[in-house]
Chains A and B, each alone.
Chain A
């Protein structure tokens, strides 16, 4: 129990905090004032994850954690890295919420409870090593996020977004569940390691061995299992691709992002994506990462993800070009960013070692995914935060027109927003450039030069609409008579922006340390996976020795 609490500290903090918040909210007389405590909870969770970092490098601790978690959750640096990203994104987004909800008369305590539980769900999803846990994590975070999307109860858009998100999300969850059930049926396991082992073995000879047609029977069985495994894999990918908003599972994204209150948009744009990509990393690489075994057909998922990646980049960018609403633009651009991350993802199962050591090509790619998530988190929260700061109630900054002349009216906000959009566009020396560079490098390293080209061509497309933000802010004056967005003064939001801008620049100019963390994170976590081809025969032999 003690072990469990220790190794699960970030999630435990959030859960206990969430319950406390609920109580406090129920007993306090006035609404409000919960934003800062909630943000502190998130930062405490991030600090806990950071404190656990050395433990995750220690074999004894890893073993104890494995016993404590009983194969449900992983205690490793990938989880911790994702936990830090989620907690950071969640904390910053909560800080934004405080003043926003006050300003827009939405201040109700359940917002913070929902966000805290959703963060805990994100962390569970990011660390899940069992399909049941994946589902529980997914639902925990989804329920919170659905409610947050519909949080503007009087707004039809908000309701529409929430309903769409909920209906499509339930459908996606059902797909995921169906895939999990199929996998369980084929292997008898729900834990990822068990599934991987079972799939890496050939179908066992049944009792009728020796009789006529037995070999044929086994062959048919094998074919059935392979086919069903592929189906299961596709269903699971579809379920998770829905959560990251990859094309063609992106339909909910713009409506939900536009309808949700802006801080909630910032929250779900970053944390849900981080968690779902984490789960994808674990499921796809952990279960189907072995492209040589008998499940090699299902190991062909990179070919599937390539299309998701290219489509996401292309559709996300093309549609973002046509938007007049900045929030919607950011929604579509987040789809494009999902595409860039998927481009690195495609390379992540490549187990061939890099020449001269330093891990495998796939590990470099997985580190690129993790680093991109971090970069995307700080840039995106910052961009939404700047939008929040730029508008007051009734004078919100949502369209490009609202931003006109912001460079004169509020140079500080304009400068911050410029940093964030430049980072999202991938301009050096911001963190967005370095993140994109890593993606390109991974793709080139694995021989996917054309995918790297697709990434850069899409970035060039993206520059156009990101620049439009700057064009409006600096080069246009507001239309006479138009309702002007007025910046509000909120120390918490300003602080958040300063922190995010600082990270965007520092991570961009000195990425060494955090990229190093990302590399460490995948090296340890991916070690058993990378060794899977070598281990598989041994494991199979061991299994053959003592049949179940």
Chain B
């Protein structure tokens, strides 16, 4: 968290990552519609260039701590709004995931989106800009701008290119998310005004590191945390605020669903990690057990509802609700294992759910139905498709050697030891009650969710791929074409790579997760002041944990 390894030379890498897609998107709007080849080439070129550029973020990020590639200049000085970007272990892989998936999604979509491709590409690129911006913004004003900016292109993607009920889904998506985020806006403004009151220099500041130093009395903290949490929980989406998601996913085009599930939902969990929890450790600790309970409820509920779905896409959508429950649980558990697992799992979910939506899109393009009852015995006519599908299913239900296993395993084992809900179990007269943490309870519930996941996914696989081909329409289905293969292969490689060598990824996540937990605990001790009536300013030592020995590569 603390900028121990500040970037030596000024760099504009993040600015390039954030703005290039938007500029390209606007540029594409001015290109002639008659030359789809040119449009595609520009979009793909920009997408791949972005991906290449984003790989530079990985250089030197192993075992590194603190924000890197920081850019910090004034934007609107009189209101303390800065253009402050930075990336650390929490956001690094999410940025790379975004740049990795966007060209892939664009490439795959070229097959299915035929009309108004120009607008589609422009929306996608604008969306990419906004999402990367939200991941790397360290100024809350800037973050809020990107956060809201994200809605418009996604809204257009769902509403213009989606299925029959697309308008309803798009409007529901927009209003739901917008309504959630405006409470966050008021909370941000409240924090900024408080900072101005308390800071000796009496300036406005939206800066992440400045606002981090605010301490609030208990009820204020709860209210502010609530405002942040509602807006992020809608995005995640957490049970019971998830009702927009199945609609949005079902109606969105394949590419929109992929981006929505793979990246956009991660902004919710990321928001919890980056903002809601470190800003309000007291409140988030207090309601932590409730949130963990909701996460478990989401895991089980999502799985149960997914089991009963007839629509393939709705099944995947509800499985998202279930998987995101793991991520939330890992974040709220705050043990190094669980939280690292949560960050990794949010990448995994992006890859495997992205792949699932892509695969569902493949049969939808061929049959124009997603009704599970319509299929059967597809493994015979589409062997390659079946192979990929089963691999992705393995990843989704968390079988060993796939990425899903690593993430879920880390989350569950980490949650076991988490200090979540403590209940007294044995009262000694001399030393008072002893407490037992209820981490195992949550972990068991989550583990039950893994089981459920296996049930619904395998049942779906069974219905679609095995058995006789009863439906004559399925006899002549074509197997994967070149475009779909090119889209799926990188995803499959990543599924196995993360499954087999997770340390390649976790080594750049773990140090910052550790720092995040240390800082959280340090600040939590400092803000637990039952007598506080007014907000106050924390000292540097309240939020900076004592330095930890840096884990070394050779220590493993």
Contact = CB atoms under 8 A, between A and B. Distances in A.
Interface string B47-81: 00000000000000000000000000001111100
A471 B171 contact: yes
Contacts of B192: 441
A453 B160 contact: no
Interface stretch (B181-189, B334-342, B518-526): B181-189
B78 A453 contact: no
Most chain A C-beta atoms within 10 Å of own C-beta, residue among B77, B145, B170, B199: B145
B148 interface: yes
Interface in B133-178: 144-145, 148-149, 151-152, 155-156, 159-160, 166-167, 170-171, 174-175, 178
A408 B203 CA distance: 48
B31 interface: no
Interface string A260-298: 000000000000000000000000000000000000000
Interface string B188-213: 01101100110101110000000000
Interface string B396-409: 00000000000000
Given A428-B144, A453-B186, A463-B178, A445 B203 contact: no
A431 to B, nearest CB: 13
B79 A515 contact: yes
B44 to A, nearest CB: 23
Contacts of B197: 355
Given A427-B148, A456-B185, A463-B175, 6 more contacts: A440-B185, A456-B182, A460-B178, A464-B171, A512-B78, A515-B76
B178 A441 contact: no
A222 B186 CA distance: 43
A452 interface: yes
Most chain B C-beta atoms within 10 Å of own C-beta, residue among A428, A452, A456: A428
A201 to B, nearest CB: 35
A445 B182 contact: no
Contacts of B171: 464, 467, 471
Interface string B206-242: 0000000000000000000000000000000000000
Contacts of A516: 78
Nearest to B162: A475
A184 interface: no
A481 interface: no
Contacts of A429: 145, 149
Contacts of A440: 185-186, 189
Q: Enumerate the 10 nearest inter-chain pairs by beta-carbon distance, A residue then B residue, closest first.
A: A356-B202, A456-B182, A428-B145, A460-B179, A475-B159, A355-B202, A512-B76, A444-B189, A428-B148, A475-B167
A476 B160 CA distance: 9
Nearest to B174: A467
A138 to B, nearest CB: 34
Interface residues of A, number: 38
A141 interface: no
Given A356-B196, A452-B189, A475 B160 contact: yes
A357 B202 contact: yes
A449 B190 CA distance: 8
Interface string A430-442: 0001000100110
B360 to A, nearest CB: 23
A356 B203 contact: yes
Contact of B196 (A355, A407, A433, A452): A355
A460 B189 contact: no
A184 B144 CA distance: 50
Contacts of A467: 155, 171, 174-175
B69 to A, nearest CB: 23
A459 B193 contact: no
A511 interface: yes
A219 B155 CA distance: 65
Interface string A354-373: 11111000000000000000
A541 interface: no
A150 B166 CA distance: 42
A345 B437 CA distance: 52
Contacts of A117: none
Contacts of A354: 196, 202
Most chain A C-beta atoms within 10 Å of own C-beta, residue among B159, B167, B185: B185
Contact of B152 (A427, A464, A471): A427
Given A427-B148, A428-B144, A445 B78 contact: no
A423 to B, nearest CB: 12
A325 B202 CA distance: 48
Given A354-B196, A476-B167, A519-B78, A441 B149 contact: no
Contacts of A471: 159, 167, 170-171
Nearest to A512: B76
A437 B142 CA distance: 13
A408 B115 CA distance: 11
A456 B152 contact: no
Contacts of A356: 196, 199, 201-203
Given A354-B202, A428-B145, A460 B78 contact: no
Nearest to A408: B116
A224 to B, nearest CB: 41
A516 B77 CA distance: 10
Given A354-B196, A515-B76, A428 B149 contact: yes
Most chain A C-beta atoms within 10 Å of own C-beta, residue among B144, B182, B190, B199: B182
24 contacts: A356-B201, A356-B203, A427-B148, A429-B145, A440-B189, A441-B189, A441-B193, A444-B190, A452-B186, A456-B182, A456-B186, A457-B182, A460-B179, A464-B175, A467-B174, A470-B155, A471-B170, A474-B156, A474-B159, A475-B159, A475-B167, A510-B76, A512-B78, A519-B78
